Amino acid sequence: MSIREFIFKILFSVLFCQTLFSQKEKVIPVDSINKLDFSGLINGINTNLEKNPELADFYSNVFLRRAKENKNDYEISSAYYYRSTLYINDLERQITYIDSAIYITTNTKNKNDFKSHKGTLVYLKTHKGAVYETDGFFDIALDNYLEALDLAKKTNDSLYIYYLQHNIGIQRRKFGQFEKAKILFQKCLKYQESIVNKSSNDSLNYLFTLAELVTTYRQHKELDSAILTNKIGLQRSRHKTIQSLFKLNQGILQYYDQDYSKAITTIKGAVDTLLKPKNHIYFENYDLIDAYYFSGKSYEALKNKDEGIKYYKKIDSILQHTNYRIPKTRYAYLELIKYYKSIGDKNNQLYYINQLIKNDSVVDRNFKNMNTKLIREYETPLLLEEKELLIDELKTQNTRSNFSLILLLGSIIILTGIFIRNYKKNRQYKLRFNELINQKHEEKVKNESSNREERIDIAKDVVDMILKKLIHFEQTHGFLKTSLTSVILASKFSTNSKYLTKVIKFYRGKSFTLYINDLRINYIIEQLQSNTKLQNYTIKALAAEAGFNSTEVFSKTFFKKTGLHPSYFVKRLRELKEN
């Protein structure tokens, strides 16, 4: 569980639990679990989550079974959420249970059963985003954060709005957008300061955001601001584990102050606290990456290269278990490659070269995707809000100013329209592509009936003969021969073209031309996926490979059948291969 999940877990407890049950502080024998009420089951899950996962799993199964027996959507959704918390090292199972909770919550017919129906959806979307972010799938995490933010804005839920901006601020910082990240964190802190001290939970949320601001100052080389803000965090944090986040930043700031030995000691103390099993909810993978990165750099500065390499290898170890690759991880691989080259270890040198290539590819893709999504789905809506403000201002300005602003507004609307249109078009293409590579390309045969020959007015033995030869024709790829006509094919089948086209129309549901072209397109789609050499062919060569005489006819037929241009389909296949 990540820091983001911890923040929202507090809210989930309010949304899902406060109106139903009171917690019981005691250990319950396994044979008594079936007698517990829901509050006891929830307590059993939370109490045993760390120390006895199998028992926590048993509690959650009882919870889910009883919720389904009661046919209570609220309880079922809650049970699925708690099931998801059991599998912090199994992304697929976590997401499966979270999606089930979202589905039940979205489609419930009894929305009044939820104290805050939309608030619950906001939480679940945010929780799903946090799970993806912890595993390094930043673009999918951002999708869920933005969906949750949209819901929170519709309900004017300022608490959630600022929590989500906290998360988006972290995403911005990961990819170098420090100024924008600072603005978001400062907004969050201003809001949190207005509610801080109302509860210990509020204080924790404030300190989490303060720690993120320190990290942002530090990474942006605003060291004076980082030092000052970090001192505030150390003074205000009474919780030892939360204090470790500020201790970690303190150690890194000591590195920048060239006090390398003290930096190593301070960072190690912070990491030792954070790595205790019960504390995994308080830190993110990037905290450990920072810790190991600056420990390695400190040992390098002290001329202890061998010890520094150990910490760079720890960064690689993190990346072997997650997809959590950020720009900083590149340096670790460069140092590992350089080190193993210096000692002549070619096997390890090759291994880390491959890891660096993989790292660069993932970081580059994430950077492009994240930057695009932040502009399109976060900044563009803000731009549209500014557009509304411009409209109001236009009413109070003179004619000349009005004309200039109208031109500006028109440009914004046109550009936004073009952007949205292209975005929708690309999204449709991607969806169609995914559907295309996952579906089987087979000709469907209509169900036969006892009087089929009567309905098409052809003798049964003739129909059977033609169908048999059609199947052989399809299996042997006879359709790839160019200049194929119904007359030519009928002659090969020892029948006439009228019978052949009639059977194809009835049993394949298509005209002869459409039938042949569909077989050709299905064939080339399958070949492009299985034979990667074809992905380097020109469209003209692909047309010939599929049996078409004309590149133009091939392209039009491909688009008509798939909704995609062949060039786009080939390009996406290449991208899949590279990734």
Task: Please write the tens of the pLDDT for every residue from 133-183.
Answer: 877 787 788 888 888 888 888 878 777 788 888 888 888 887 788 898 899
Same domain? For 411 and 519 the reply is no
461 and 556 assigned to the same domain:
yes
- pLDDT(11) > 50: no
Span 193-213, mean pLDDT? 75
Q: What is the pLDDT of residue 249?
A: 94
The confidence band for 130, taking pLDDT boundaries of 50, 70 and 90, is confident
For the chain, the distance separating the N- and C-terminal CA atoms, rounded to the nearest angstrom, is 27
Inside any domain, residue 144: no
Q: Cα(481)–Cα(474) distance, rounded to whole angstroms?
A: 12
| 3-class SS letters over 517-556 | HHHHHHHHHHHHHHCHHHHHCCHHHHHHHCCCCCHHHHHH
Q: For residue 336, is it within any domain?
A: no
Does residue 237 sit within a domain? no
Q: Please determine, for residue 436, whether its predicted confidence score (pLDDT) is greater than 50.
A: yes
Burial class, 242, CB count within 10 angstroms (exposed 0-12 / middle 13-18 / buried 19+): buried
- 516 domain residue, yes or no: yes
Q: How many independent structural domains does the chain possess?
A: 3
Q: Bigger pLDDT: 323 or 185?
A: 185
In a domain, 195, yes or no: no
What does the pLDDT average to over 66-87? 85
Q: What is the CATH number of the domain that holds 469?
A: 1.10.10.60
Q: Provide mean pLDDT across the span 201-230.
A: 88
Residue with tokens 């929170």: 152
* Domain housing 574: 452-578
Q: Is the pLDDT of residue 4 over 50?
A: no
Residues contacting residue 289 through CB under 8 Å, at least 6 positions apart: 315, 318, 324, 326, 328, 329
Look-up of token digits 């998801």 = 84
Q: Are residues 415 and 528 in the same domain?
A: no
- What mean pLDDT is predicted for residues 189-205? 71
pLDDT band of residue 322 (cuts 50, 70, 90) is: confident
Q: Is the pLDDT of residue 389 over 90?
A: no
**pLDDT score at 447:** 47
Q: Which residue in this structure is represented by tokens 């993110």?
A: 284
Instruction: Assess whether pLDDT exceeds 90 at residue 514.
Output: yes
d(CA 268, CA 25): 35
Residue 378's nearest CA partner among 149, 119, 127 is 149
* pLDDT over threshold 50, residue 528: yes
Residues 486 and 399 in one domain: no
C-alpha–C-alpha distance, residues 192 and 211, integer Å: 13
In contact, 6 and 282? CB cutoff 8 Å: yes
Higher pLDDT, 279 or 230: 230
- Who wins on pLDDT, 447 or 355? 355
- Inside any domain, residue 26: yes
Which has the closest alpha carbon to 154: 121, 181, 112, 193? 121
What would the two tokens of residue 101 be? 């909770």
What average pLDDT score do residues 372-397 get?
A: 59
At 333, list the tokens: 């691989």
Query: Is residue 358, in this structure, part of any structural domain at all?
Result: no
Statement to judge: residues 456 and 536 lie in one domain? yes
What does the pLDDT average to over 252-280?
90
pLDDT of residue 449: 42
Q: Is residue 211 part of a domain?
A: no
- The whole-angstrom separation of Cα 375 and Cα 377 is 6
pTM of the model as a whole: 0.57
Residues 55 and 83 in one domain: yes
**Among the three residues 438, 472, 498, which one is the final residue of a domain in this structure?**
438
**Pair 472, 520 in one domain:** yes
**pLDDT classification of 378: cutoffs 50, 70, 90:** low
User: Which DSSP category does 375 fall into?
Assistant: I
Backbone angles phi, psi at 359, to 5 degrees: -60, -45
221 pLDDT above the threshold of 80? yes
Residue 175, amino acid: F
- Residue 27: pLDDT band with limits 50, 70, 90: very low
Question: Do residues 457 and 568 both lie within one domain?
Answer: yes
pLDDT at site 72: 82
pLDDT band at 393 (very low <50, low <70, confident <90, very high): low
The residue type found at 162 is Y
226-253 mean pLDDT? 90
Domain boundary among 414, 438, 462: 438
Lowest mean pLDDT among 175-179, 389-393, 410-414: 389-393
Of 245-254, 366-375, 404-413, give the range with the top mean pLDDT: 245-254
Q: Do both 458 and 433 map to the same domain?
A: no
Residue 26 has pLDDT above 50, yes or no: no
Closest CA to 248 of 202, 201, 299, 284: 284
Confidence of residue 113 (pLDDT cuts 50, 70, 90): very low
Same domain (yes/no): 78, 100: yes
Q: What mean pLDDT comes out for the span 343-356?
A: 91
CB 270 within 8 A of CB 262: no
Last residue of a domain, which of 385, 404, 438?
Answer: 438
For 261, half-sphere exposure in the C-beta direction (CA atoms, 13 angstrom radius) is 0
118 CB-near residues (< 8 Å, 6+ apart) = 151, 154, 155, 157
Is residue 22 very low, low, confident or very high in pLDDT (cuts 50, 70, 90)?
very low
pLDDT at 10: 43
- Look at residues 204, 206, 177 and name the one whose alpha carbon lies nearest to residue 190: 206
Give the residue from 178, 141, 185, 196 showing the smallest Cα distance to 163. 185
Q: Is residue 503 scored above 90 in pLDDT?
A: yes
Q: What is the mean pLDDT of residues 320-328?
A: 79
Average pLDDT score over residue span 355-380: 70
The residue that leads in pLDDT, 101 or 4, is 101
pLDDT tier, 422 (very low <50, low <70, confident <90, very high otherwise) = low
Alpha-carbon separation of residue 347 from 329, 335, 344, 352, 546 (angstroms):
20, 15, 9, 9, 44
Q: What is the pLDDT of residue 397?
A: 61
Under 8 Å between Cβ of 349 and 343: no
- Distance (Å, rounded) from C-alpha 226 to C-alpha 213? 8
Round the average pLDDT of the chain to a whole number and report it.
81
Tell me: pLDDT of 440 over 70: no
Tokens coding 118? 């939309």
Q: Are 171 and 145 in contact (CB under 8 A)?
A: yes
Percent of the chain with pLDDT over 90: 31
Q: Are residues 552 and 468 in the same domain?
A: yes
pLDDT number for residue 131: 85
Q: Which residue carries 């207005």 as its tokens? A: 194
pLDDT at 118 exceeding the cut of 80: no
Instruction: Say yes or no: 425 and 477 in one domain.
Output: no
pLDDT: which is higher, 226 or 453: 226
* pLDDT at residue 400, as a whole number: 59
